[in-house]
Structure 1
Amino acid sequence: MKVYQSNEIKNIALLGNDGSGKTTLTESLLYEAGLIQRRGRVSLGTTVSDYFPVEQDYGYSVFSTVYHVEYNNKKLNIIDCPGSDDFVGAAITALNVTDTCVLLLNGQYGPEVGTQNHFRYTEKLKKPVIFLVNQLDSEKCDYSNVVERLREIYGNKCVPVQYPVNEGPDFNSIIDVLLMKKYSWKPEGGAPVIEDIPAEEMEKALEMHRVLVEAAAENDEELMDKFFDTETLTEDEMREGIRKGLVTRSIFPVFCVCAGKDMGVRRLMEFLGNVVPFVDEMPKVHNTRGEEIECNSDKPTSVYFFKTGIEPHIGEVAYFKVMSGSIKTGDELTNVDRGSKERIGQIYVCAGAQRIAVDELKAGDIGCAVKLKDVKTGNTLNGKDCENHFDFIKFPNSKYSRAIVAENTADTEKMMAALLKMRQEDPTWIVEQSKELRQIIVHGQGEFHLRTLKWRLENNEKINVKFEEARIPYRETITKAARADYRHKKQSGGAGQFGEVHLIVEPYAEGMPDPTVYRFNGQEFRMNIKSREEVDLPWGGKLQFLNSVVGGAIDARFMPAILKGIMECIERGPLTGSYARDVRVVVYDGKMHPVDSNELSFMLAARHAFADAFKEAGPKILEPIYDLEVYVPADYMGDVMSDLQGRRALIMGMDTENGYQKLQAKIPLKELSSYSIALSSLTGGRASFTTKFASYELVPADLQQVLIKAHEAESSNED
């Protein structure tokens, strides 16, 4: 295979809602490029994409598929991404390592929730977008309505380059207003018949051509001057104007195909090859030091590994993009993230499960390697005289969490190893071994996302697992001061155990002055602070520990043991077993025995005294509150708001964004547990949402009592 230079390479992400036909389009692109001899079918499980068993079993794309086509001495690297928002990680990864997005739409439905989500990501990453309307042979296809809706949402930047002469089951021809030609196909598709535009279509074609010419001219001053003078541009000038408009997101060309019949695919590939920007024409990427890295083969070698696939009989397949320089078979590179040396035994270009060995790849190109020693997703490998490090892919927060349990406890360690390995393939699976909740929590993007993980554990790893409701990381605190004392005394022959601790607890806030006097039940307690220790709690908040013991009632050597006992109680709060926070503890008195007192005695006495005082100090449970943004079609707004109000959500505001309503709210984490399922059910899968931790707030009093009783019942069962 030819070694392509940076000015001959184009990287393209293929995105679209479920059912838009990305996998079918991939088959036609590969067939037109001559990489496959027969187009596979999704229903038969014979496609280049969706070749993993879990994808064939579910009938959905789960992983992105990297492939390439060669056209007219140019190389197009294409990444076909899953359409479901549950697998958004693949789309975000692809957009970060490619330069142009082809956003596929189902001609029956037009822009859907997946379209909106993907477009928002392109907006954030400032990537060029080409809209591609597919399934023109559907009875319900209405191309004009699809274009009208695109313009309503994204404005007049959406400019058709083609339109179908006839839609529905009889579809077989389009008018291309860039080339001003009619393309027609026989029933088997493939090579088109190209002819002049018929008279009955000429007026419509000329008007659309004029709009396209004007849109192309707006992106270059010279072209605009020529357009004002002549009111026309040559084909090459139009291509140049569109190319510049793509780079600046000033134009979103709209194309149409029928991928299932291989109609319009060859023309699409011509446009991608002739007009889409090359890798060296796009804005430069920044390394972690903020330095611009030029996509130049003459620079030192730097390679970024953006994806790991695990395939039967092969193991890990590591996909990379050459950020600068070039990579050759046999190169020895340094892994910046892991501090190790890595010899690249063989490099390949990709076509789904097929790999084609090559000797060299230049800056901007995409390839893969197998059997690497110590390379993980997100690692940067550098050649000599290069110190780059890349970390530019940012994934969305999780939306759906469940505790995962191996049905056979002996499989727990094996399950954890498998989960961590699978996370290399999809970084949006977050695995948390929570000491606080005493559960292994798996966080994902939705119910289907986690169901896929379970399928793979049970079918690939032969580990049977079950999901349980994840516990909520509540916090406990107090609202007033309280006093307690406790004597721990145990005598069982020989040396005994004795320790007595008197302490006061009160709410603590940063910058509070030291206490001087407390009053309880008419009795006054004066404080003489001898030492203080402030502990920043790992889960948030603080513990301030003050020693106010006078007269040697407790030896100073026992203070660390008293603090340890309090910390143990703070880690398993007295109300629900959750972490406590923002508490001041003042130890002011106690007793000890010259023989029987030891650290254990004072630790146990402190633990009981703290628990008793905490329960008398107006204890409150805090719950995590999240900021929620819901993107929902206007006609579902009422149902979504009613549902949120039933989930104790506080509506913070509403706005309109790209044709959708954006609803902002604050909602308790407990109420988010199955929100993704409920929202999908309410809106027929047409809404999406994002979440972000906001704060801890007080739990309502009635719910607090329910939580305390549930903890007491659980504790008694454990006893």
Structure 2
Amino acid sequence: MQNLESKNIRTIGIFGHSSCGKTILSDAMLFDAKAITRIGSIVGGNTVSDYTEEEKRRQISISTGCLHFSWKDKHVFMLDTPGYMDFIGEVISALRVVDGAVIVVDGVSGIEVGTSKVMRMIEKAKIPAIMFVNKLDKEHSDFYKVVDALIEAFGNKCVPVQFPVGKEKDFKSVVNIINGQGINSAPQDVKDRLEKYKEKMAEAIAETEDSLLEKYLETGSLTDEQISKGLLKGVLSGKLIPVLCGSAEKNIGISEFIETITVVFPSPEDIAEVKGVQGDKTLKPDKNGPLAALVFKNIADPYVGQLTVFRVFSGTIKGDSEWYNSTKGSKERFGKISVLQGKEHEEVSELVPGCFGAVTKLKDTSVGDTISTITDKIVLEGMVFPKPVMALAVHPKSRNDESKVMDSLHKLGAEDPTFRFTRNVETKQTIIEGMGDIHLEVMTERLKNKFDVNVDLSTPKVAYKETITAKAEADYKHKKQSGGSGQFAHVFLRVAPKARGEGYEFVNEVKGGVIPTNFIPSVDKGIQSALEKGILAGYPVVDVQATVYYGKDHPVD
């Protein structure tokens, strides 16, 4: 990890529909890179990135796993994202900080809802992408059928650069279409397929650049070097998406896949310059430039406090230093910084552009904030998260839980920007909001597992309101005699409906002092008291304009 150079760094994210094999692919890549000693299992609950109790129990990814490994002279920082759309906030954050996206496609199921969703998000973010058709060792898997579906759905930019040798349980290896690597051990029918696919690839690559198209039309073919260079340019521009294949579970085609991403995906230095949204400063991925690091993840840890995860875009960030949160305008003291391998932390002295890092116990830093210096005050573009679509009421099970629930919810809210909570003063309920039922169930499980807070969930009560639909006038006479000076008042009122959400408005149109000025606030207070309980069902009355325009008083009473 020491002495990393940005030109040798690759920063990638693994995306796709749930259960397509993203987490096992991540484990297989770590294994082939000798970062771990065995490939984990979802059923066994021993993968590197899915380490929380909720993920082990449900056997799905819930939060983004941060991973890294070295491959030859390259170092890869990798994010393993959830596939369930309930956790779309994790995907949004990851897409903001990666330079390349791997879309994993199930070789049996083919294109699924999550595949199309992340594909649209990747295209919108203009991130170079590669597709990996996984699970080709499974029964009913069909690489060629999946490729045809990808081309039909996303266009001819989906270009196979590998194809499998064998099918289903007989799947044994992959062949590189560009250089023919792996073809010697393949049967004759596979060898016959090579030239056909190479010609298709050359045609697709030629269409991305005028000079290549001219050469292709002149000679009818492209050299391996021209194909390789054209592929690199096509991926970087978004005009091409290479399609690779393999089996993560059986560790087939994984080394070839790693080799491809380290060659095809850009380094931070190959990416267009980044501009700050404040100060209009242009940032190059220069380790000697001004510091700009974007926070994309918070992890609430009951033992070490909040763990803040960031990506460095410019400059060099060091531990045991004071930096500046330019989004919030506050200083932050950094202790030791580290890189994450799942739940494990590896302490480092500094991080350069392209690196993911983590630091604990920052006091005022949230997801989307920029870490810079007090001199530069650079603010990077953050993330835009969707609004919650579901709400439930939370009920602490005991008095001890009640005392801890609000603080624990606040920590979970800092961890997940798509999770929100409020206190409804009218129904006297604590309401949690999220992206779906699984999302909210997971958050309550985290309350128990992380903070030992036990709660029940229920449908929120509806805070009903009443209002008026037409104008009306009335007068009221108040008399009270109890010995000595009595009480007397006579007021004339006019009420009118207001637009929804405009609330209550009091208007004083009294002229000539028929109601003494010092009594006007009492009239207002009396009206508001009456609005607290409507005549239809006893609910508060809202969106009303009340005008007092005439009245009488008695000089003695």
Work out which of the residue numbers 196, 200, 208 in structure 2 matches 1:219.
208
Structure 1's 351 and 585: CA in aligned 2 closer, same or farther, altered over 3 A?
same
User: In 2, Cα distance between the equivalents of 1:433 and 1:417?
Assistant: 13
- State how 1:590-601 maps to structure 2 within 5 Å: 590-592=551-553
Work out which of the residue numbers 541, 547, 559 in structure 1 matches 2:508.
547
User: In 2, Cα distance between the equivalents of 1:29 and 1:238?
Assistant: 26
1:4 aligns with 2:4: yes
8 Å Cα contact 2:4/2:352 also seen in 1: yes
1:403 aligns with 2:393: yes
For residue 569 of structure 1, report the CA deviation from its aligned partner: 5.8
- State how 1:94-493 maps to structure 2 within 5 Å: 94-182=94-182, 195=184, 198-289=187-278, 291=280, 292-311=282-301, 313-408=303-398, 411-435=401-425, 437-472=427-462, 476-487=466-477
For residue 508 of structure 1, report the CA deviation from its aligned partner: 4.2
8 Å Cα contact 2:127/2:238 also seen in 1: yes
User: In 2, Cα distance between the equivalents of 1:489 and 1:140?
Assistant: 89
User: In 1, Cα distance between the equivalents of 2:533 and 2:293?
Assistant: 47
Per-residue CA distance 1:581-633 (angstroms, 9 max, x = gap): 2x43221223445577xxxxxxxxxxxxxxxxxxxxxxxxxxxxxxxxxxxxx
- State how 1:62-101 maps to structure 2 within 5 Å: 62-101=62-101
**Which residue of structure 2 aligns with residue 531 of structure 1?**
none
**Which residue of structure 2 aligns with residue 559 of structure 1?**
520
Structure 1's 479 and 354: CA in aligned 2 closer, same or farther, altered over 3 A?
same
For residue 182 of structure 2, give the secondary structure of its aligned residue in structure 1. strand
Structure 1's 489 and 369: CA in aligned 2 closer, same or farther, altered over 3 A?
farther
- State how 1:503-522 maps to structure 2 within 5 Å: 503-508=493-498
User: In 2, Cα distance between the equivalents of 1:209 and 1:593?
Assistant: 102
User: In 1, Cα distance between the equivalents of 2:233 and 2:526?
Assistant: 68
Segments of structure 2 that go 5 or more residues without pairing to the other structure are none
For residue 290 of structure 1, report the CA deviation from its aligned partner: 7.8
For residue 289 of structure 1, report the CA deviation from its aligned partner: 3.0
Work out which of the residue numbers 519, 542, 553 in structure 2 matches 1:580.
542
- State how 1:29-68 maps to structure 2 within 5 Å: 29-68=29-68
For residue 169 of structure 2, give the secondary structure of its aligned residue in structure 1. coil
Report which structure shows greater RCO (CA 8 Å, sep ≥6): 2
TM-score by structure 1 length? 0.72
8 Å Cα contact 1:302/1:324 also seen in 2: yes
For residue 46 of structure 2, give the secondary structure of its aligned residue in structure 1. coil
TM-score by structure 2 length? 0.92
For residue 484 of structure 1, report the CA deviation from its aligned partner: 2.8
User: In 2, Cα distance between the equivalents of 1:579 and 1:295?
Assistant: 59
8 Å Cα contact 1:216/1:238 also seen in 2: yes
For residue 499 of structure 1, report the CA deviation from its aligned partner: 4.9
8 Å Cα contact 1:543/1:584 also seen in 2: yes
Structure 1's 312 and 566: CA in aligned 2 closer, same or farther, altered over 3 A?
same
User: In 1, Cα distance between the equivalents of 2:510 and 2:129?
Assistant: 71
8 Å Cα contact 1:436/1:578 also seen in 2: no
Identity %: 36
8 Å Cα contact 2:401/2:455 also seen in 1: no
Per-residue CA distance 1:661-707 (angstroms, 9 max, x = gap): xxxxxxxxxxxxxxxxxxxxxxxxxxxxxxxxxxxxxxxxxxxxxxx
The one-letter code matched in structure 2 to 1:137 is D
Per-residue CA distance 1:279-333 (angstroms, 9 max, x = gap): 2322444433383433332321122211111335433221011121111223321
For residue 423 of structure 1, report the CA deviation from its aligned partner: 1.4
Bigger Cα displacement from structure 2, 567-576 vs 309-318? 567-576
8 Å Cα contact 2:165/2:186 also seen in 1: no
User: In 2, Cα distance between the equivalents of 1:346 and 1:155?
Assistant: 47
8 Å Cα contact 1:318/1:370 also seen in 2: yes
8 Å Cα contact 1:418/1:461 also seen in 2: yes
For residue 205 of structure 2, give the secondary structure of its aligned residue in structure 1. helix
User: In 1, Cα distance between the equivalents of 2:400 and 2:486?
Assistant: 40
**Which residue of structure 2 aligns with residue 605 of structure 1?**
none
User: In 1, Cα distance between the equivalents of 2:274 and 2:171?
Assistant: 43
The one-letter code matched in structure 2 to 1:4 is L
8 Å Cα contact 1:307/1:424 also seen in 2: no
Segments of structure 1 that go 5 or more residues without pairing to the other structure are 184-194, 510-538, 597-719
8 Å Cα contact 2:369/2:382 also seen in 1: no
For residue 395 of structure 1, report the CA deviation from its aligned partner: 0.9
8 Å Cα contact 2:368/2:382 also seen in 1: no
Q: What is the alpha-carbon root mean square deviation over aligned residues?
A: 2.7
8 Å Cα contact 1:279/1:364 also seen in 2: yes
Per-residue CA distance 1:395-431 (angstroms, 9 max, x = gap): 1121211122223356334101101101122111011
Per-residue CA distance 1:69-88 (angstroms, 9 max, x = gap): 21121121110011111111
For residue 346 of structure 1, report the CA deviation from its aligned partner: 1.6
8 Å Cα contact 1:240/1:275 also seen in 2: no
For residue 27 of structure 1, report the CA deviation from its aligned partner: 0.9
User: In 2, Cα distance between the equivalents of 1:492 and 1:297?
Assistant: 86
The one-letter code matched in structure 1 to 2:389 is K
The one-letter code matched in structure 2 to 1:334 is Y
1:16 aligns with 2:6: no
The one-letter code matched in structure 2 to 1:14 is I
Structure 1's 591 and 360: CA in aligned 2 closer, same or farther, altered over 3 A?
same
Structure 1's 316 and 482: CA in aligned 2 closer, same or farther, altered over 3 A?
same
Bigger Cα displacement from structure 2, 366-375 vs 171-180? 366-375
User: In 2, Cα distance between the equivalents of 1:32 and 1:491?
Assistant: 95
The one-letter code matched in structure 2 to 1:102 is V
Bigger Cα displacement from structure 2, 491-500 vs 328-337? 491-500
Structure 1's 145 and 200: CA in aligned 2 closer, same or farther, altered over 3 A?
closer
Per-residue CA distance 1:134-157 (angstroms, 9 max, x = gap): 111111212222112212211111
For residue 41 of structure 1, give the secondary structure of its aligned residue in structure 2. coil
The one-letter code matched in structure 2 to 1:555 is P
For residue 159 of structure 2, give the secondary structure of its aligned residue in structure 1. strand
8 Å Cα contact 1:180/1:197 also seen in 2: no
The one-letter code matched in structure 2 to 1:203 is D
8 Å Cα contact 2:161/2:177 also seen in 1: yes
User: In 1, Cα distance between the equivalents of 2:222 and 2:530?
Assistant: 78
Structure 1's 224 and 502: CA in aligned 2 closer, same or farther, altered over 3 A?
same
The one-letter code matched in structure 2 to 1:56 is K
Structure 1's 416 and 493: CA in aligned 2 closer, same or farther, altered over 3 A?
farther
